Structure 1
Amino acid sequence: MKNNLKSAINRYLRSKDELAFQIDGPWGSGKTYFVKNNLKEIFKNTQYTPVYVSLNGVSEIGEVKKEINRQVLAAILQMKGDKYSLTSKANSIFNMIDEANLSSEAFGSWINDALSTAKLLKNQTKKSLLKKADLSKFVLITDEFERIEKFSLIPTILGYASNLQNNWNCKLLIVSYEAALTSKNGYDNFKVAKEKFINKSWLFGKDTKENALQIIDQYLKGQAGVTDRLYHWIANISSNVLDLLDSINLRTLKSILSTYCQVVNELVDSTLNAKERDQVLKTSYLSIFVITDLVKRGKLSKLTSIDVLFNLSSDQIRFNKSGLLNKATEDETADQNDISNIVNTFHGKYRDFDDNMLYLSSIKELVLHDSLDIEGLITSINNIFLPTIPEHQRLMEKARNFRTMSQTDLKNVEERLLNSIQGEDIAYKELFDIYNIMNYFKKIDLLFIDVHFPELMERILHKIQQMTYDEVRIGGYLSLDNTEDPNTLKTIREALKKREKKTLIDNDKQGAEYLLNGQILKFRKKGSYFYKNSLFQIMLQNQIIKKFVSWDDNAFGGLQYYLVEEIIHVKNAANIHQHELKYMEEFLKLLENKTANPFLDKVIKFRVKELMGTIKQAYKVLSVTGTK
């Protein structure tokens, strides 16, 4: 696309076309960058001198005339060899003359005489230079028509530029964003003038990615603190991530790179090792890129939505998307659609992105408020990607590679490993692994230190008593694969089963408490209950029957909810809750006895009988196999 545009402009410059060539495209698509940077070779080969004029904020035709003259004169001076920097000096002097408005009352008549002489000199200089120059080899580039302050000037400006094109026999490039004019009063003026003065128009924007990669090259290639290897990584990952965006805004990209260079500069003299610096710079780039893009292009309905994702790895975000969406729903500062759009746009597409991306509060502060906490940034990234490995974990790894050691070295590792866990709060799995390592060394006669195994086992059993139900089910039983000693296996399995049963009943008691106290949302959020234990057994053991012969609406509502939603309306309820049958019968008998009390409030009696009807209905559902 870009090469086609270059070819089109090349043909235009070599043609006898007497009208203008328009390059039209959205803001931030790289039109100005393209004209100023990508056409240099064509201008050189065709021997055209570009004269660039921005119309941003123009309110009078005189401003346009003055700016065009100034830029043409500057170009002529450069062509003639401006070794004394007269271009900038002349421009400064002419600006001072034009803007001076000094009265004779303040300084005397001599100042006006001097100014008149200076203005005359300026005009003569202009005329002399313009007369000698071959203006046919100029290409006048007018940019930002849509940013003119007074849109009524558009036909006048286009007409003036077209007259110059005809008088000088030069070429005219018009750079614009025509769509931005459609809602303005000046669009009709532009439309009419366009038909009269513009011959060909090129829609720009399809090749913005190439411009973006060139800008990345300009900012980062050769930048102090950016190694060649890091530069190529950034170029490759940027090429991929740019494809994920619905559009590319080069102004946003420049903001991303400018912000990133702040981080790079802060790390130039840091004491980080090469691996740490590389990780910090990779993660910082991606975090700055995504957060800046989301903020600058208005992709977030709430800026605080990003906070839900802070310090989560990309895999954690992808595999817990539903949980994050629920969290966003419950959090007034976040928006569920924001989270969904972020995950769907960026995550799970490129492995290199997922392996290095983090949403960081320090980056958000940098993007929004230009405040950089470099130490906090380094700590956040290292904690996730390069966590400090505890001494005992490093020694365990060494012990597993004992075949590469001498007897002295292995003994040293064994001593250090045992000492490293003294007085330390070591996780169950690691304690058990150390126990198994030492036990294995004892078995193969390579244990060179004294190990008090019963004491170590006591620590392991104590850790088991602190486990949750999920920890027992997932990590606990899985750890049994790491031991071959039958006695150890039996001891640990029995402890895990005992803990599983205890945590399960505790969990179900908590569920019963939520249910019967009207905390239905907590009950539902917590998860599954009463798969092995009976709700009715728990109520019988804790004499909760009293709640149902009083005015306790929560107890009535909670039990009705459980019976209807967890049993009556569930097709396979009999496979899950059939163990409730025995205790349902006992609970029904107690309720019948309570309703036989002649002094029981008649309304309460009605409600109890209503509840009994629901229990009997649930009982029938659970009795589908014919078992009571």
Structure 2
Amino acid sequence: MDQKSTHSAVLLEGPWGSGKTFFVKKYLRDRAARLAKQPGSNGGGFLYVSLNGVRTTKEVNDQFFAQVYPDLDHPTARLVGSLAVGLVSSLTRFKPGDKDVDALRSLMVDLKDQVLVFDDLERCAMPLPEILGFINNFVEQDGRKVIVLASEAGIASEQRTSYDRGKEKLIGKTIRVGSDAGAVYDLLVDDLPSGKAQDSARENRSGGLAIFNESMLGNFRSLRSVLDDYDSLVSQVSVKLAGSPEALRRLFFSMLAFGMEVRAGSLTEADVETYLLNPAYFAVEPDPQETRVKAVTGKYSNVDWSDTLVTLDLLLEIFRSGHVNVAAINAQLDTHPILNRATAPAWRKLWDWTRQTQSEYQAAREEFIDDLTHRNYRDPAIILHAIGLVLDLATHGDHLVGEDIATYFERYLDDLAAAGELIVDREFADFPYSAYGLGFHGKKQPLFRTLMGAVFERMEASAEFEAQARVEDWIERRIAGDGTSAPYDDWAGGGTFDRTAVLQHVPASKFAGVLLLDGRLDITLWVALHRRYEVGDLRLMRSEAAWLGQLRREVDRLVDLMPPPQNAHAKSEVDRHFRKLRIAFERHELDLDSLMANPATT
């Protein structure tokens, strides 16, 4: 680079993400700063062009123009050339599109004493002989110093022969990029804004480098992106995180390993949802995808995938969009024992029992047993965490609730159900493979699955009890003249009780009186019935079909008591609504008329 003239270009060759761009820009900036201090030096600047997607040499000139004349730059970089043409045209006789205008624009770009860098050669949309010939003009005709960056592995096979011929003419020296990971890591960390994230990355240098090497990806571009995301997260969320070196370390290692694999396409959103957030413990044999995910995550010795401090779905959102969901992340940090041991619930403290001191474990154990004794865990997800912990600790010799774990939790659930305190959580019941971002201890034990079934059975019973009370209360208020429509959202499609079989417990005569209140059909309530059965929960449909038969008889009785012309209109409308109900059942291969006529078959 310090020679007065050259007769060939230099090629920096290496795989994508190997640090070529970072290296050459840093080298040239340092060189320019060094030369600027020398008397009589012209500064030794450089112009950088990315050939990614470039289709014409005009686009290359546009990029040069934007750098040489930044005052004429435009927020949309690809319009710079057009603006230049407009400016030239306004000052001369030339019109946009004239070949002389392109020539004049090229003359305006002063390339004297500039090193020219052409990056992403393999991603250029022009035929390679054409772009290589264009670059060669700067070397042979103008005597410019040129550096070309390329990943030869990315060059299409059909262009390989022509590339080799052009390379032989243009390139005088090829440098294979094999950057020292430690040196690049230090440079990237130094580029971070000073703060806790930068300090943490420096303090955990050896662990961070171990993760980078274990990834076997060698992608410094991904490393830089993950470091930036780590800094963004740490700078925005609760200051409690920045105050805990251990929490920062665990998060840093998790983000580094996960981010590298996400950017490489080795871990997808589906992988996160299916295997990492919600490990499928029902499978007897792991499927091929699960085996693949385990192979990816198993590379990292310093990463605990079961507790990444911030759940992987929230980290994935950062990697994909750059958005840091501050509220959700802070909610997770606020309950994590590593940051808030004094206020974290006992079950959450005990979940990390393998990382605790003996005194920490004993304190969490006593608090946990006290919570069980007083039936403080009412959320089905937390109850399953408690069951899993008890099972897991029993296998390690600590029997928290005695030897008969099954009987203990059956009584626990019965007590909550009898008191009406078991929380109904339909969303969790649909996908009960993890909760609060944590997998379940003891999940592979047969008794865990048995007790999970018991939890959901009691939850269903609680849902029926609560739904029945609410529907009956609504009916009484409706009959009394209260115009509220409260239950529509509760038990129609998408509501709290849309899959809770409850209407069979409501007197059909009372419900019919609301459907046909004072001779007028409540259309909204009829529509809610349609939506309820369109959802397609077979258990609910079978449980309530006989009740629908009773309801039909009660509605027909009320219609028969109506005087004309209302009775004829009401009969027609009732027939129409029940036809819609039949259609809803038929969509799920159920015969409503048969089920209504033969209650024993439900």
TM superposition score normalised by structure 2: 0.49
- Would you tell me which structure has more helix in proportion to its own residues? 1
Greater gyration radius = 1
